[in-house]
C-alpha cells in the first residue's frame, strides 16, 4: 500500500532563517507531488506541483521554492522566512490515473516569529 511521510510536524522558526520541509512517498512510482499551504480557517492554496524528477511548477509568486531530487521525494525550501510564511503546509500525491483524488501527508505547522 502507498504511504506518505511528511516532517517535521511542528516547526517554530525566526524571521530570516532558512526552511526545509521534506516529504516522501512509498509504494508507488512516478507520483504527481504537491505542496499546499493552509491558513487558519481557510482552504488549501496550491504552491508547487511536480510531475517528475526535476520538474517543478510554481502556482503563486512567493518566498518559497521546491525541489524533487528523487522520484518520491519532494522538498519545500526558503532561504529567508517571512512572517507571512506561517501556516499549515501539506504535501500530497496522486497519479495520472487518479488525479481526482489527493492523498495528503500529516502536515507541518510552521510558525515564523
Partner 1 sequence: GQSLEQPSEVTAVEGAIVQINCTYQTSGFYGLSWYQQHDGGAPTFLSYNALDGLEETGRFSSFLSRSDSYGYLLLQELQMKDSASYFCAVPNAGKSTFGDGTTLTVKP
Binding residues for partner 1, rule: CB under 8 A, are 32, 34, 41-46, 49, 51, 59, 90, 94, 96, 99-107
Residue with smaller CB distance to partner 1, 32 or 78:
32
Residue with smaller CB distance to partner 1, 1 or 100:
100
Min dist CB 94 to partner 1, Å, is 7
Which of 39, 41, 67 minimizes the C-alpha distance to 54? 67
Residue with smaller CB distance to partner 1, 45 or 73:
45
Min dist CB 53 to partner 1, Å, is 16
Burial class (CB in 10 A: 0-12, 13-18, 19+), 66: buried
DSSP 60: S
Min dist CB 80 to partner 1, Å, is 27
Decide the pairing of beta strands 10-13 and 108-112.
Answer: parallel
* 45 close to 35: Cβ distance less than 8 angstroms: no
Amino acid at each position: 500500500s502507498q504511504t506518505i511521510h511528511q516532517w517535521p510536524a511542528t516547526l517554530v522558526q525566526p524571521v530570516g532563517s532558512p526552511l526545509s520541509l521534506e516529504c516522501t512517498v512509498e509504494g508507488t512510482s512516478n507520483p504527481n507531488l504537491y505542496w499546499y499551504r493552509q491558513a487558519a480557517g481557510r482552504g488549501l492554496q496550491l504552491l508547487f506541483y511536480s510531475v517528475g524528477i526535476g520538474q517543478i511548477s510554481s502556482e503563486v509568486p512567493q518566498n518559497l521554492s521546491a525541489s524533487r531530487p528523487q522520484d518520491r521525494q519532494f522538498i519545500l525550501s526558503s532561504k529567508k522566512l517571512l512572517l507571512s510564511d506561517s501556516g499549515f503546509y501539506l504535501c500530497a500525491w496522486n497519479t495520472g490515473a487518479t488525479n481526482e483524488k489527493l492523498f495528503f501527508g500529516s502536515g507541518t505547522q510552521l510558525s515564523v516569529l
